[in-house]
Amino acid sequence: MPNRRFADGEVVMGRWPGSVLYYEVQVTSYDDVSHLYTVKYKDGTELALKESDIRSQSSFRQRKSQSSSSSPSRRSSSRSRSRSPGRPAKGRRRSSSQSREHKDDKKKTISETNLVLLVFKPSENNTRRYNGEPESTERNDTSSIISEQKLKPDLEIARVLEQYSLRPRKEEKKREEIYSEKKIFETKKVIEKASLKSIEKASSKTKELEFGGRIGTFTLIFFLPATVLYLLLMCKQDDPSLMNFPPPLPALESLWEARVFGVFLLWFFLQALFYLLPIGKVVEGLPLSNGRKLQYRINGFYAFVMTAAVIGTLLYFQFELHYLYDHFLQFAVAAAAFSMVLSIYLYIRSLKAPKEELAPGGNSGYFVYDFFTGHELNPRIGSFDLKYFCELRPGLIGWVVINLAMLLAEMKIHNQSMPSLSMILVNSFQLLYVVDALWNEEAVLTTMDITHDGFGFMLAFGDLVWVPFVYSLQAFYLVGHPTAISWPVAAAITILNCVGYYIFRSANSQKNSFRRNPADPKLAYLKSIPTATGKGLLVTGWWGFVRHPNYLGDIIMALAWSLPCGFNHILPYFYVIYFICLLVHREARDEHHCKQKYGLAWERYCQRVPYRIFPYIY
């Protein structure tokens, strides 16, 4: 007898895939192999849902009765509360007779059921609703464009279509076309398809392999460390021109030093200690596929300040920080060895992880692929989140320390009382970038790295080796290849960096604020288009300029970091070249995910904002 909670024929509330909305559905069958229920929505749509996406009707009835007793003024306030999909539904009283689902509800903080979506059925009454919420909560965070419309009955269909993000505001002609049943039918089909895809993704193996699949990821496991080694060896040469490829290989035994490895471990565990300190606020991440939200301590900036105090103390006691410069290659090898051991550990432990905790993109069933992309989404030892910790602490803060070591090494080697202007610029620009990332640490919780990518070799190596040892290449280059720049040139480069930073910061802040609270009065001047998932897409402001304005700002800054190294060699420009490739590839990945998530709404967005990163170019 299969262990199932809902019987065939039972009428329950089913979550609309890819969204946080629940509709009345009838259970038609249950597959005890895949553990999926086939349910039928009232419009005839049949979908396969996981048990966690199904609730009994009683929980919704309770909410409905509570909500419908609200006064009009209360309604409007609850409406604005419900505009934030991730906000918990605080203050809702529950009777003791409520069923177990309510307790589950509470545990999982499924507040999203506040949101309501009208579902249009061509063959039935257009104004009919399928959920247990009152009309007043119908508007969700995505309705900003249509918020001014009065909901006359004959506009109900339009409203539904707006929910699916189909039309621009003023194009009346198109509006008529969109209202036609044919279009509605097509819309529903596309959404259905996208929803089915997301269900398939959540419940089965990763089918679309990225990074060149198994061969690509296998190659990258060797190619990435080789690239780091190559770049560092080239940088050490007196003439690092590409003509001098390949650089002479050092003796193997010279690459490894136990003491260096010990210092690396000390660094890693010192950062872990700072991470564990109970200072800084604790916030919730985005909801996982099972509705659960993980908690994260935000204390990266404090960790940075404490690290600065430790380094300051070491310098005060005459510790020679240029030890880092002298053993740079060994440090890179130590970090690479550590990241490999960590990746192996991560993969082994991921084999025991529950299915719903696996990364959507790293569950192909192919060892190499999953090892590289990361099999488990949020590996934790107790409350210690390994991925989140590695994202912003040892590598990112390490990068700044390495830059400082390069600055001191430059002064020592060239007998300077002051660092060169080029070195000061590189250090200051990159320091600003790191401090900004740590100051805005919370924003990392909504990035692809945290929400989509598992923790495997790609991120372990990227965070612990690539970021600190490749991103500091300009400073490393300047030690061996002093470059004098004039004050006006320095001023021009500084302005370029400020422009890049301004675009990067304001674009990221705009999106983060909008995601946190779409009803934020500070964002009232921005327009968004709604999507079927309940989230909106900004179409004005920075996100109406290009589809990834934050990448544009980041690339401009990357250029500003390379320019102080002059034009003698291409090596210091490696970062900006690589970064453009990385962000173009990342943008393509993100587009792909957004297209799956938002379907037609995303296409609509792409029509309105045709350029991806570079306006009028790409």
Chain positions contacting ligand NDP, by CB under 6 A? 447-448, 504, 508, 511, 514-515, 535, 537-538, 543, 548, 550-551, 554, 586, 590, 593-594, 605
Give bridge partners of residue 295 from the DSSP assignment. Answer: 284
Return the number of the residue (483 or 497) whose C-beta is nearest ligand NDP.
Answer: 497
Return the number of the residue (151 or 582) whose C-beta is nearest ligand NDP.
Answer: 582
Distance CA 427, CA 588 (A): 31
> Least distance in Å: CB of 260 to ligand NDP?
25
At 418, is the secondary structure helix, strand, or coil?
coil
> Least distance in Å: CB of 511 to ligand NDP?
5
Return the number of the residue (376 or 391) whose C-beta is nearest ligand NDP.
Answer: 391
Please compute, for residue 95, the number of CA atoms within 13 A of its CA located in the half-sphere on the CB side: 9
> Least distance in Å: CB of 607 to ligand NDP?
13
Distance CA 99, CA 172 (A): 48
Spatial CA neighbour of 609 closest among 275, 601, 286:
601
First to last CA, the chain: 57
Cα-based angle 229, 459, 17 (whole degrees, multiple of 5)? 155
Give the Cβ contact number of residue 365 at 10 Å. Answer: 11
> Least distance in Å: CB of 8 to ligand NDP?
35
Return the number of the residue (58 or 451) whose C-beta is nearest ligand NDP.
Answer: 451
Spatial CA neighbour of 23 closest among 106, 133, 104:
133
Return the number of the residue (584 or 594) whose C-beta is nearest ligand NDP.
Answer: 594
Return the number of the residue (292 or 593) whose C-beta is nearest ligand NDP.
Answer: 593
Residue nearest to ligand NDP (CB): 447
> Least distance in Å: CB of 95 to ligand NDP?
36
- DSSP secondary structure letter of residue 38: E
Distance CA 31, CA 300 (A): 46
> Least distance in Å: CB of 79 to ligand NDP?
21
Return the number of the residue (22 or 605) whose C-beta is nearest ligand NDP.
Answer: 605
Return the number of the residue (306 or 580) whose C-beta is nearest ligand NDP.
Answer: 580
Distance CA 491, CA 186 (A): 55
Return the number of the residue (408 or 434) whose C-beta is nearest ligand NDP.
Answer: 434
Q: Are 497 and 561 in contact (CB under 8 A)?
A: yes
User: DSSP string of 188-256?
Assistant: HHHHHHHHHHHHHHHHS---S--TTHHHHHHHHHHHHHHHHHHHHHHHHSSS--GGGPSPPPPPGGGG-
> Least distance in Å: CB of 613 to ligand NDP?
10
> Least distance in Å: CB of 547 to ligand NDP?
6
Token representation of residue 261: 């490895």
> Least distance in Å: CB of 582 to ligand NDP?
6
Q: How far is CA 13 from the centre of its chain?
A: 30
Return the number of the residue (423 or 539) whose C-beta is nearest ligand NDP.
Answer: 539
Q: How far is CA 370 from the centre of its chain?
A: 19
> Least distance in Å: CB of 537 to ligand NDP?
4
Token representation of residue 38: 């086939």
Q: How far is CA 181 from the centre of its chain?
A: 37
